[in-house]
């Protein structure tokens, strides 16, 4: 075979870093089990001569022992990487493959067709510009084809190659191919997939993969490779307004303060005016540092570091923008693809990550779910793994974003379960629900940092959590007095005392307890904003609630103090006689007795009062505040 002839290159042909010798096309393959996806990808690798001698030898020997092709080369073995997959004969996870032709480089994501692994398909599609959808010519368009195409359209894929595989098994029937094509085009039209190229193939034999098939002379269109090499998928991301989500603030010394990130859209030049979102403050670009050196201009896709002409507050999660203002809102509507085995729960708090910003988010309502067979919208209360829906979300703080259709990087997010840390869902922002565009948070002349300087302290929340009788209020009270002696401005929010005032409308149902904690967190955040140190003493038994409280303030402003006195000791003390009542069955759902206390996993400070006196505990907390420059 000709691939043994190695190309010769002149030694002077050094790679040219700043020239685009061959652009890269990222595409995803999808289809049902046994449609032949892995075989198609293996065939593309094989025909592009990406495979090397030792890999070909391994393929030949594995084809004999593990292959499903009776000893012929089984191209699927090139792609089905994990041992479990080889044993089961299916693809169970996303695999990334690289090959190149004379005209283009390709990164292909091979994704599973198994129904329960839809999440992997969405994963593959999220970074693809084009999709190759396989169907078995004998089966035509089936439920899986619809499901995958729907996900492709949700993820913004506009170019699809429909590869109708196994044409040999239907006798190379052109009429059948035309019927499948017509059915798919109708569906694609409904989904807004604008460009579809249908190609009849026989993947294991290579018909219409690289070379035109001699067995289907009635097909006169391009081969798969020819189409992939020539299709124009270029977006207009450089033409859109400038957006740079700030990833990292680079402060190596007092003279340099740079803001790092990858440009999501648009271009920027030195001297141009930019706005920092969500604050809306304006400044100008002083310098642009790129990996290739200092520059006067940079464009979408580049990882750069900008310095600004004014010293203004910019941190990770902010977005530097120019031109039309982005959306800024804490209420939005989005399409969701649910991943987690644990079903979606409306009202539950998730972590939302969009660009470089993270915030707590609650799915307020699920507007509808998609019935995958019919693509009809149906009402539902929840989403299970691999289901798709449309939901309203309420965020803890205003997010800077664009709609997904306008800007993939600025309009996509993931939801993370705050307890299991699994990625629960992927989201595509459809619309902002509050007309907040161009309306920024009221910028007050005196802000938190000014007040904090007046007080010579860094404001923060000291959140004391632990069982009833653990000593939270006693320690918090002493810390409060000690701070006063030191001339610092603090205030103590005690759970019991709050219930006499702002929370007197609340009882002890689960919902009321949650609201009790939420209000305390909100009040603490207001005090922090006023430059003060807020001490909160609350049992606050649930991790998610404490996490929610932490989200109300900025990173580093929340100090979780676990007063970890053992239950036996708390019960022995029983200062309010509550344990006795609980044991007698008079207080239902009492924390520690018949309701769980979820221990903090990584509290900033842990104190066990059975080992530490109140004074020593207080000194440890004051020491922590000094060591970490709060005082």
Least distance between another protein and beta carbon 101 (Å): 6
Task: Give min distance, CB of 18 to another protein, in A.
Answer: 4
Q: Which of 25, 28, 30, 122 binds another protein (CB under 8 A)?
A: 122
CA distances to 143, 147, 198 from 503, rounded to whole Å, are: 52, 48, 64
Q: Are 148 and 51 in contact (CB under 8 A)?
A: no
Decide: is 303 part of the binding site for another protein (CB under 8 A).
yes
Write down the H helix ranges in 52-192. Answer: 53-66, 83-88, 118-126, 143-154, 174-191
Q: Check binding of 72 to another protein (CB under 8 A).
A: yes
Q: Which of 38, 126, 277, 565 binds another protein (CB under 8 A)?
A: 126
Rounded-to-integer distance, Cα 40 and Cα 167, Å: 13
The residue to which tokens 């955040």 are assigned? 525
Binding pattern for the stretch 406-445 against another protein, x by CB under 8 A and - elsewhere = --xx--xxx-x----xxx--x-------------------
**Is residue 540 among the annotated active site residues?**
yes
Q: Which is nearer to another protein, 205 or 515 (CB)?
A: 205
Q: Does 584 bind another protein (CB under 8 A)?
A: no
- Report the candidate in 27, 264, 290, 61 with the shortest Cα–Cα distance to residue 155: 27
Options 135-143, 254-262, 367-375, 434-442: segment touching another protein (CB under 8 A): 254-262
Which residue from 174, 185, 222, 238 is in contact with another protein, where contact means CB under 8 A? Answer: 238
Q: Is the bond leading into 179 cis (omega within 30 degrees of zero)?
A: no
174 or 418, CB closer to another protein? 418
Judged by CB under 8 A, the residue of 40, 170, 188, 351 near another protein is 351
Q: Which is nearer to another protein, 404 or 527 (CB)?
A: 404
Candidates 46-54, 385-393, 453-461, 509-517; binding stretch for another protein (CB under 8 A): 46-54
CA-nearest of 473, 598, 480 to 540 is 598
Q: Which of 49, 139, 368, 482 binds another protein (CB under 8 A)?
A: 49
Contact call for residues 387 and 297 (beta carbons, < 8 A): no
Q: Which of residues 496-535 bind another protein (CB under 8 A)?
A: none
Give whichever of 70 and 501 is closer to another protein, judged by the CB atom.
70
Residue 32's nearest CA partner among 119, 124, 146, 123 is: 146
CA 572 from chain centre, in angstroms, equals 47
Look-up: residue for tokens 């948070």? 441
**Closer residue to another protein, CB minimum distance, 361 or 490:** 361
For the segment 9-38, give every residue that binds another protein (CB under 8 A). 9, 11-24
Among positions 171, 221, 271, 291, the unique one binding another protein when judged by CB under 8 A: 291
Q: Taking a C-beta distance cutoff of 8 angstroms, is the pair 156, 404 a contact?
A: yes
411 close to 420: Cβ distance less than 8 angstroms: no
* Euclidean distance between CA atoms 584 and 508, whole angstroms: 18
Residue for token digits 């004074």? Answer: 615
Contact 552, 396 (CB under 8 A): yes
Question: Going by C-beta distance under 8 Å and a sequence separation of 6 or more, which residues neighbour residue 332?
Answer: 392, 393, 395, 399, 401, 429, 430, 431, 432, 433
Q: What are residue 288's DSSP bridge partners?
A: 295, 306
Q: Where are the beta strands (DSSP E) in 263-411?
A: 267-269, 273-277, 281-290, 293-295, 297-299, 303-308, 319-321, 327-338, 349-354, 357-371, 376-378, 388-401
Of 136-144, 291-299, 472-480, 588-596: span binding another protein (CB under 8 A): 291-299
User: Does 107 sit near another protein (CB under 8 A)?
Assistant: yes
Q: How far is the CB of 496 from another protein (least distance, A)?
A: 31
82 contacts: CB under 8 Å, gap ≥ 6: 92, 93
Q: Compute the least distance from the CB of residue 421 to another protein, in Å.
A: 4
Cα gap 45→244, rounded to integer Å: 36
Residues 389-408 that bind another protein (CB under 8 A): 408
Binding residue count for another protein, defined by CB under 8 A: 106
For another protein, the closer CB: 233 or 299: 299
Q: Which helix (H) or strand (E) holds 329?
A: strand 327-338
| Piece of 252-260, 375-383, 445-453, 619-627 that binds another protein (CB under 8 A) | 252-260
- Smallest separation (angstroms) from another protein to the CB of 542: 16
- Considering 540, 544, 610, 613, which one is annotated as catalytic? 540
Asked whether position 7 contacts another protein by CB under 8 A, the answer is yes
270 binds another protein (CB under 8 A): no
Q: How far is the CB of 387 from another protein (least distance, A)?
A: 15
DSSP state of 389: E
**Residue 127 CB, nearest approach to another protein (Å):** 7
Measured from the CB atom, the residue of 1 and 444 that comes closer to another protein is 1
Among the residue ranges 27-35, 247-255, 436-444, 461-469, the one whose residues contact another protein (CB under 8 A):
247-255
Using CB under 8 A as the criterion, what x/- string covers residues 130-159 for binding another protein?
------------------------------
Among positions 193-222, residues that touch another protein (CB under 8 A) are 205-206, 209-211
Q: How many CB atoms lie within 10 A of CB 346?
A: 14
**Total length of the chain:** 631
Q: How far is CA 467 from the centre of its chain?
A: 35
**CA–centroid distance for 382 within its chain:** 20
Considering only 28, 29, 37, 97, the residue that binds another protein (CB under 8 A) is 97
Candidates 35, 47, 330, 571; binder of another protein (CB under 8 A) is 47
Q: Is 601 in the site for another protein (CB under 8 A)?
A: yes
Strand partners, 284: 273
Q: Which of 219, 338, 339, 527 binds another protein (CB under 8 A)?
A: 339
Segment near another protein (CB under 8 A), from 43-51, 272-280, 360-368, 380-388? Answer: 43-51
In the bound complex, what is the minimum distance in angstroms from residue 35's beta carbon to another protein? 19
First to last CA, the chain: 75
Structure tokens, 429: 């922002």
- How many helical (H) and strand (E) elements, i.e. helices and strands, does the chain have? 16, 28
CB 344: neighbour CB atoms within 10 A?
24
Span 73-92, contacts to another protein by CB under 8 A: 73, 79, 81-84, 86, 92
Query: Could you tell me which residues are beta bridge partners of residue 327?
Result: 401
- By annotation, the residues acting in catalysis are 540
């Amino acid at each position: 075979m000709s691939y043994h002839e190695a190309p010769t290159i002149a030694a002077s042909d050094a790679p040219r870093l700043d020239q685009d010798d061959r652009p890269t096309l990222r595409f995803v393959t999808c289809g049902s089990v046994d449609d032949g996806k892995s075989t198609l990808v293996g065939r593309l690798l094989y025909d592009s001569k990406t495979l090397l001698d030792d890999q070909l030898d391994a393929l030949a020997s594995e084809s004999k022992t593990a292959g499903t092709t009776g000893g012929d080369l089984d191209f699927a073995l090139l792609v089905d990487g994990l041992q479990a997959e080889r044993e089961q004969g299916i693809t169970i996870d996303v695999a990334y493959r690289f090959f190149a032709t004379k005209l283009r480089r390709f990164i292909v994501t091979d994704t599973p067709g198994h129904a329960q692994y839809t999440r992997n398909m969405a994963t593959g599609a999220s970074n693809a510009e084009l999709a190759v959808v396989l169907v078995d010519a004998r089966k035509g368009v089936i439920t899986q084809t619809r499901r995958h195409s729907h996900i492709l359209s949700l993820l913004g894929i506009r170019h699809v190659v429909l590869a109708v595989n196994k044409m040999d098994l239907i006798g190379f029937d052109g009429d059948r191919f035309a019927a499948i094509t017509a059915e798919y085009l109708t569906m694609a039209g409904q989904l807004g997939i604008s460009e579809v190229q249908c190609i009849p193939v026989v993947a294991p034999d290579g018909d219409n993969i690289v070379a035109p098939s001699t067995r289907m002379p009635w097909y006169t269109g391009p081969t798969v490779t020819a189409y992939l090499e020539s299709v124009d998928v270029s977006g207009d991301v450089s033409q859109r307004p400038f957006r740079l989500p700030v990833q990292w603030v680079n402060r190596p010394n007092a003279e340099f303060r740079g803001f790092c990130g990858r440009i999501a859209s648009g271009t920027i030049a030195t001297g141009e005016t930019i706005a920092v979102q969500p604050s809306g403050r304006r400044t100008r670009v002083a310098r642009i540092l790129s990996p290739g050196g200092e520059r006067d201009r940079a464009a979408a896709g580049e990882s750069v570091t900008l310095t600004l002409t004014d010293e203004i507050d910019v941190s990770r999660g902010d977005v530097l923008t120019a031109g039309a203002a982005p959306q800024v809102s804490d209420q939005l509507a989005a399409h969701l693809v649910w991943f987690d085995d644990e079903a979606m729960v409306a009202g539950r708090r998730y972590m939302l990550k969009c660009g470089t910003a993270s915030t707590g988010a609650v799915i307020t309502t699920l507007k509808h779910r998609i019935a995958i067979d019919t693509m009809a919208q149906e009402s539902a209360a929840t989403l299970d793994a691999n289901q798709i829906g449309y939901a309203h979300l309420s965020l803890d703080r205003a997010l800077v974003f664009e709609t997904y259709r306008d800007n993939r990087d600025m309009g996509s997010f993931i939801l993370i379960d705050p307890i299991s840390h699994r990625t629960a869902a992927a989201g595509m922002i459809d619309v902002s629900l509050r007309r907040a565009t161009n309306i920024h948070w009221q910028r007050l002349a005196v802000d938190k940092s000014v007040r904090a300087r007046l007080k010579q302290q860094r404001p923060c929340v000291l959140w004391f959590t632990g069982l009833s009788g653990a000593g939270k209020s006693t320690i918090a009270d002493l810390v409060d007095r000690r701070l006063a002696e030191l001339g610092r401005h603090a205030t103590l929010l005690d759970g019991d005392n709050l219930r006499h005032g702002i929370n007197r409308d609340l009882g002890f149902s689960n919902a009321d307890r949650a609201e009790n904690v939420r209000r305390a967190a909100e009040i603490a955040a207001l005090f922090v904003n006023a430059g003060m140190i807020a001490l909160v003493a609350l049992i606050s038994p649930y991790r998610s609630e404490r996490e929610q409280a932490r989200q109300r303030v900025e990173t580093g402003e929340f100090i979780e103090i676990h007063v970890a006195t053992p239950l036996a000791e708390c019960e022995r003390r029983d200062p309010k006689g509550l344990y006795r009542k609980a044991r007698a069955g008079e207080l239902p759902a009492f924390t520690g007795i018949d309701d769980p206390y979820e221990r903090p996993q990584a509290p900033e400070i842990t104190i066990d009062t059975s080992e530490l006196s109140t004074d020593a505990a207080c000194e440890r907390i004051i020491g922590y505040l000094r060591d970490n420059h709060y005082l």
